Amino acid sequence: MKIAVTSQGKTLDSQLDPRFGRAAYILVIDTVTLEFEVIDNADNKNAFKGAGIQAAARISDSGAEVLLTGFCGPNAFETLDAAGVKVVNDQTGKIIDVVQKFKQGGAVYAESANKDGHW
């Protein structure tokens, strides 16, 4: 299974980026082989509005089935939900640790956004 993780850097040793739409990078990781693809989110990071929507559309394209992140706003959540991507919020720490923990099972999938929209 492929999962997407918001990341401050481009390797599995990077720290998770708690922001979803404005994360520096999004790593799309194969949970079996740990091979991964790096999505550079730089143009989204500086978007005036709607960063989460665009990031969500990219994750939908990447084929990831699950997103691990810190905070996910209402528009992003709506988009991910429509794309059938499950969201696990409140994640922190090194990417590799977060992925290993996810693989052990028991992840709690969000039923709604855990952050208000930006105005």
**In this complex, which beta carbon is closest to another protein, that of residue 69 or of residue 75?**
75
Position among 26, 29, 51, 99 found at the interface with another protein (CB under 8 A): 51
- x-marked contacts with another protein along 79-98 as a string, rule CB under 8 A: x--xx---------------
Helix intervals (H) in 18-118: 42-45, 51-62, 74-83, 95-103
**In this complex, which beta carbon is closest to another protein, that of residue 49 or of residue 103?**
49
Whole-angstrom distance, CA of residue 16 vs CA of residue 118: 21
Residue 31 CA from chain centroid, whole number = 14
**Cβ 47 to another protein, closest distance in Å?**
6
Question: What is each CA distance from 91 to 27, 61, 71, 119, in whole angstroms?
Answer: 14, 22, 8, 24
Site for another protein in 17-46 (CB under 8 A): none
**Cβ 44 to another protein, closest distance in Å?**
8
Q: Provide Rg for the chain, Cα atoms.
A: 13
Contacts with another protein, residue ranges (CB under 8 A)? 47-51, 53-54, 56-57, 60-61, 75, 78-79, 82-83
